[in-house]
Amino acid sequence: MSTLSSIQKEITSSLAIKLGLSTRESLIEAKFILEYVLKRTYAQLYSDRSIILLKEEELYIRNIIKQRLQKKPLGYILKEWDFYGETFLINSDVLIPRQDTELLIDLIFKEYKKETQINICDLGTGSGIIGITLARRFKNSQIMLTDTSKEALIIAQENINKFKLKNAKTLYSNWYSEFPEVEFDLIVSNPPYIDIDDPFLKKDNLQYEPEKALFSGNHGYADIEIIVNNARDYLKEGGQLMIEHGYNQSNLVKLIFENAKFLSIKQHLDINSKIRVTSGLV
Ligand SMILES: C[S@@+](CC[C@H](N)C(=O)[O-])C[C@H]1O[C@@H](n2cnc3c(N)ncnc32)[C@H](O)[C@@H]1O
């Protein structure tokens, strides 16, 4: 028989010892597992740490840990992950949402009023986290979520349904190949940007995620170049392109924006003072 407190200790120590997670990481994962299995918020769970778990709850938790110790990412075991305060459905066809991507949302929320009526495109939407978070905020705007992975678009659509959104639609498109005759006020993207030939890349940690969500040719810049070099054709005059990129890609990404004749190019820092987003106007 385990109490909440004892099972939490067991989860954190096995994740730390057997997977080498930091204390913080193992505590976060333990929190997600307990919330998920016991279907209560952490605040509710935290208020009584002596709760005794039901046999089936304990078995369920041990099964999750067993899979996790085989290095399967927790998001793919639970089939959901949090982004910007909401829980999204995910599976191994989509990237697990990264906290880094919340910077794009912060910047957009700061710049555009809630009531704004604009056309937005989320290019390479994966599970739909960016487009859907924007659609929930900008109820008077229309959001198009695109991807070249049909499997990803199924998950994005499930998330659109989950949040009962009427102003978000998915589109299968190889970047701009299938774009309709609509001009956008804002195109936002978190494209694949990891250099597949990076000698320092720990591919082990990424082996479960879809390759086309992560890696890009030309030292990680191939997809960024396509997106930036063609965005003008799909943006209104004064429209904006905003993309996430790697912390060490800011100089070249700026150059790509400059060569594509973007105006008012801005680069934005994350909480670690690294430039992770570049934007520009046409
Ligand atoms: C880094 S993931 C980002 C997913 C999601 N937007 C997020 O932030 O979690 C990049 C996404 O771009 C999609 N993608 C890759 N190549 C593409 C292409 N040629 N056209 C459209 N989408 C593409 C991938 O399928 C993947 O979903």
In-domain check, residue 208 = yes
Total-model pTM: 0.94
Please tell me whether residues 165 and 266 are part of one structural domain: yes
Please tell me whether residues 121 and 224 are part of one structural domain: yes
In-domain check, residue 34 = yes
Residue nearest to atom 14 of ligand 1 (CA): 124
Please tell me whether residues 152 and 19 are part of one structural domain: no
In-domain check, residue 218 = yes
Q: Which two tokens stand for residue 126?
A: 């994966």
Please tell me whether residues 173 and 270 are part of one structural domain: yes
Give, for ligand 1, the residue of 92, 127, 171, 190 to mutate: max count of ligand atoms closer than 8 Å to Cβ. Answer: 190
Of 39, 70, 101, the residue that ends a domain is 70
In Å, how far from its chain's centre is CA 192? Answer: 12
The answer to whether residues 33 and 12 touch, using CB atoms and an 8 Å cutoff, is no
Mean pLDDT of the chain: 94
User: In angstroms, what is the span from residue 78 Cα to ligand 1's centroid?
Assistant: 21
Please tell me whether residues 114 and 50 are part of one structural domain: no
Please tell me whether residues 143 and 267 are part of one structural domain: yes
Other C-beta atoms within 10 Å of 275: how many?
19
Please tell me whether residues 138 and 186 are part of one structural domain: yes
Please tell me whether residues 139 and 201 are part of one structural domain: yes
> Is 95 close to ligand 1, i.e. is its CB under 6 Å away?
yes
Please tell me whether residues 110 and 17 are part of one structural domain: no
User: Looking at residue 43, what is its pLDDT?
Assistant: 83
Please tell me whether residues 106 and 164 are part of one structural domain: yes
pLDDT digits (tens, 9 = 90+) for 29-59: 999 999 999 998 878 888 888 889 999 999 9
Sequence-ordered strand ranges (E) for 229-274:
235-244, 263-269
**In this structure, which amino acid lies at residue 60?**
Y
Classify the C-alpha dihedral 228-231-233-236 as positive or negative: negative
DSSP state of 3: B
In-domain check, residue 75 = no
Per the structure, the complete domain to which residue 18 belongs is given by: 4-70
Give, for ligand 1, the residue of 177, 212, 218 to mutate: max count of ligand atoms closer than 8 Å to Cβ. Answer: 212
Nearest one of 160, 162, 180 to 170, comparing CA atoms: 160
The answer to whether residues 227 and 241 touch, using CB atoms and an 8 Å cutoff, is yes
Please tell me whether residues 108 and 195 are part of one structural domain: yes
What domain count does the chain have?
Answer: 2
- Phi, psi (degrees; rounded to nearest 5) at 130: -70, -55
Q: What is the CATH number of the domain that holds 180?
A: 3.40.50.150
User: Looking at residue 204, what is its pLDDT?
Assistant: 64
Q: Which two tokens stand for residue 178?
A: 């299938």
pLDDT digits (tens, 9 = 90+) for 72-98: 999 999 999 999 999 999 999 999 999
